[in-house]
């Protein structure tokens, strides 16, 4: 009987700790794992990163050059239920991983920006942007002008020749930007 009583006395603190961890990972910060080589040389395959979720929580627009984790399912609306179901604890129980839907990318364009891809460079609003972080010159070129819509961002990987990004999946709604990784 004493053991059962002792276990019950621990249930409250364990429950509070669990609720606090879910709250923190939904609203404050969360770990993610980099999958693949699209962010080489800045981040590497299987590297673990922590992102601030405050930008997502408060719908803050990330800055140019910020590294963000995005939900690549841009053809659907995100709900609060998504944030609960995607929590690492629930993923562990369900045996799922969400790595295939979450991409780590760099913010290149914000609402209203006009992006062009020519001369193996990215042009934002008519000027070539300086990108010391990219792995190599970009092979991609296009005659198309991309105008970033309101409440969206345009993202690309640092390894431009090996990245599934906004050039393929489209503009990223702000609510699909899960968090920001600030680099030193």
* Active site members: 38, 105
DSSP state letter for 138: -
Place of tokens 């990972």: 25
* Dihedral angle over CA of 38, 65, 84, 23, nearest 10: 130
Angle at 175 (CA atoms; ends 171, 177), nearest 5 degrees: 70
Show the tokens assigned to 30: 């969360």
**Contact of 125 with 113, CB cutoff 8 Å:** yes
Cα–Cα distance, 174 to 140 (Å, whole number): 25
Cα–Cα distance, 82 to 73 (Å, whole number): 12
What's the distance, CA 115 to chain centroid?
21
Show the tokens assigned to 33: 């794992």
Q: Is the dihedral of CA 141, 144, 147, 148 positive or negative?
A: negative
């Amino acid at each position: 009987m004493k053991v059962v009583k002792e276990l019950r006395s621990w249930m409250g603190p364990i429950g509070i700790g669990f609720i606090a961890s879910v709250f923190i990972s939904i609203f404050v910060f969360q770990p993610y794992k980099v999958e693949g080589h699209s962010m080489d040389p800045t981040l590497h395959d299987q590297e673990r990163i922590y992102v601030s979720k405050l930008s997502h929580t408060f719908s803050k627009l990330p800055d140019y050059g910020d590294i963000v984790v995005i939900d690549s399912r841009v053809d659907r609306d995100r709900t609060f239920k998504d944030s609960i179901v995607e929590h690492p604890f629930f993923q562990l129980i369900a045996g799922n991983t969400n790595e295939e839907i979450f991409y780590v990318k760099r913010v290149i364009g914000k609402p209203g920006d006009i992006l062009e891809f020519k001369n193996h460079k990215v042009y934002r609003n008519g000027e070539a942007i300086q990108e010391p972080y990219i792995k190599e010159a970009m092979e991609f070129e296009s005659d198309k002008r991309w105008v970033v819509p309101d409440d969206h961002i345009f993202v690309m990987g640092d390894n431009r020749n090996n990245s599934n990004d906004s050039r393929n999946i489209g503009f990223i709604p702000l609510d699909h930007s899960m968090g920001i990784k600030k680099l030193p």
